[in-house]
């Protein structure tokens, strides 16, 4: 049961992580030439849930 709940929460966790990434771009706009980062999401499979 615990595992199921934990898995269901993953989507939000991903959201949180990315939101932090996006925020840092706007508040601290320092860039290194020719470098960038992709936050890659794949096969979330419709999982949504609360943060752990």
Partner 1 sequence: MKGLAETEAVYLVDAGDALFKYPYIAEDQSERLKETAQAIISSYNVMECQVMNVGTNDLAAGLDFILEMEKTARFPFISANTQDASTDEFLFEPYAIIETQDQTLGFVGVTKGDHRVKEFTFSEPVEAAQKAIDEIKDKVDLVFLMANVDDKLERTLTAEVKGIDFLIRSKSGSLQRNPKQQDGTTIIRIGKQGKYAGILRIRNVDPISQMKNVSSQYTRIKFADNRLNAMAKGIEEGMTLEEHFAGDENRLKLITRLRDERETNVDLIKKLKNSYFLEPIPLNEKIEDTPEVALIVKDYMPEEKKTKEKDNHKGH
Are residues 51 and 9 in contact, defined by beta-carbon separation less than 8 angstroms? yes
Q: Which residues contact 6 (CB under 8 A, 6 or more apart)?
A: 52
Q: What binding mask, one character per residue, do residues 5-44 give for partner 1 by CB under 8 A, x or -?
A: xxxxxxxxxxxxxxxxxx-xx--xxxxxxxxxxxxxxxxx
Tell the smallest beta-carbon distance from residue 26 to partner 1 (Å).
9
Q: What backbone phi and psi angles, to 5 degrees, belong to 22?
A: -65, -40
Tell the smallest beta-carbon distance from residue 2 to partner 1 (Å).
6
Interacting residue ranges for partner 1, rule: CB under 8 A = 1-2, 4-22, 24-25, 28-52
């Amino acid at each position: 049961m615990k595992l199921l709940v934990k898995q269901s929460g993953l989507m939000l966790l991903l959201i949180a992580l990315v939101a932090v990434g996006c925020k840092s771009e706007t508040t601290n706009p320092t860039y290194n030439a020719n470098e960038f980062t992709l936050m890659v999401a794949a096969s979330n499979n419709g999982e949504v849930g609360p943060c752990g």
